[in-house]
Amino acid sequence: MASPSSSPLTLGYRFAAKGLDPARASPAIPVVAVLLYVLYCALAYVVTFDVLLVRLRTLLAFGAALDAVAVAAKIGYVFVGMPMLYRHITQAEEGTDHAPALDACLLLLAPWALPLTFLYAATMPLQSLYGLCKPPPPVLEKPSIEYQAMTECKVCLEFYTAEKLAAYCDTCTTPCCIACFNNYLEHRLTSNETLCCPGCKNHLSPNLLASNAISFDTREACAAHCLTQDEQRICPRCHQLARKGSLRKRRVICDACKTTSCADCGKDYHLLPTCRDKAFERYCRETGPARAKG
């Protein structure tokens, strides 16, 4: 008679260990039984730890602690539980010596794959919600590289972009960088020569004094130099460079604002040349009548 404390699973393993007939017990039968159960537990080991635990860990907030528990359970499952199971199965007899120990060992090492599979299936909606609520990883955008056309300066033969080239003439398109154009203006000012385009030799653009193509000191020197030129004047309204249509005419028309001014006094244009008499009178008052007549 079997002990009342023996479970059917324990009785089956004891029956397999002793064989169908106790008199015909074979030592190969318990070995085969143990190997089959070890194979079954190994499958449960893979499903339990390497599949379910890895997938369920995304729902838990333990992190490294959960990994440490899993590693400890794996080590105990292989190096502690399997030898204990083998010992209790091979030493199982009709008495109650090894029946409780075998029952406890089977409960500890039983393949929990089936209940854990149901647990995993029940938590699939939670995993779906976790995947929806989890913020997506940041996408690193590659910096966009914009290529700009380069133009060769005809003076220094270097290539520059459009913002580093000087715009100095309305008709000529000869490319010249800002540094070379400033050097050109300084040379013309030092030589007291007329400021003209280095390409077509025409007058410079009226918007030159208001552009950023030349430095502040060079701009002031150009303005003072233009006042000394008979064919160039400064507009009294927009302060841009204006040109006279003829050396004998006093009327100067600004190309920028279309304002007419007097070439003699620099003010708004007036029909009678009274500014010359006023200028002579002012000169006489400053220098004296005797010197003015002489």
Tens-place pLDDT, residues 222-256: 777 666 665 667 777 776 666 666 556 777 778 77
Confidence of residue 259 (pLDDT cuts 50, 70, 90): confident
Q: Is 138 buried (19+), middle (13-18) or exposed (0-12) by CB count in 10 A?
A: exposed
pLDDT of 183 reads 84
71: pLDDT strictly greater than 50: yes
Q: What angle is formed at CA 105 by the lines to CA 45 and CA 15, rounded to 5 degrees?
A: 105
Q: What local confidence, expressed as pLDDT, does residue 156 receive?
A: 84
CB 127 within 8 A of CB 59: yes
User: For 123-174, what is each residue's pLDDT tens digit?
Assistant: 555 555 555 566 667 777 776 677 777 888 888 888 888 778 877 776 777 7
Q: Domains of the chain, with CATH numbers?
A: 35-89 (no CATH), 150-231 (3.30.40.10), 238-286 (no CATH)
Most confidently modeled of 83-92, 151-160, 270-279?
A: 151-160
Q: Which of 50-64, 75-89, 266-280 has the lowest mean pLDDT?
A: 50-64
Average model confidence (pLDDT) across the chain: 64
* pTM, to two decimals: 0.33
Q: What is the pLDDT at residue 248?
A: 61
pLDDT for residue 268: 77
For residue 127, count other CB atoms closer than 10 A to its CB.
Answer: 14
Bridge partners of residue 243, in order along the sequence? 232, 253
Structure-model confidence comparison of residues 21 and 118, the more confident one: 118
Among all chains, which residue has been given the structure tokens 């302060």? 239
Looking at residue 180, its pLDDT comes to 85
pLDDT of residue 196: 74
Is the confidence at residue 12, as pLDDT, over 70?
A: no
List Cα–Cα distances, 38 to 45, 83, 84, 205, 258, in angstroms: 10, 10, 12, 96, 104
Cα–Cα distance, 61 to 67 (Å, whole number): 11
- Higher-pLDDT residue of 291 and 41 is 41
**Segment 175-227, tens digit of pLDDT:** 888 888 888 888 877 776 767 777 777 767 656 666 667 777 777 777 776 66
In the chain, pLDDT over 70 holds for what percent of residues? 34
- 103, containing H or E segment: helix 99-109
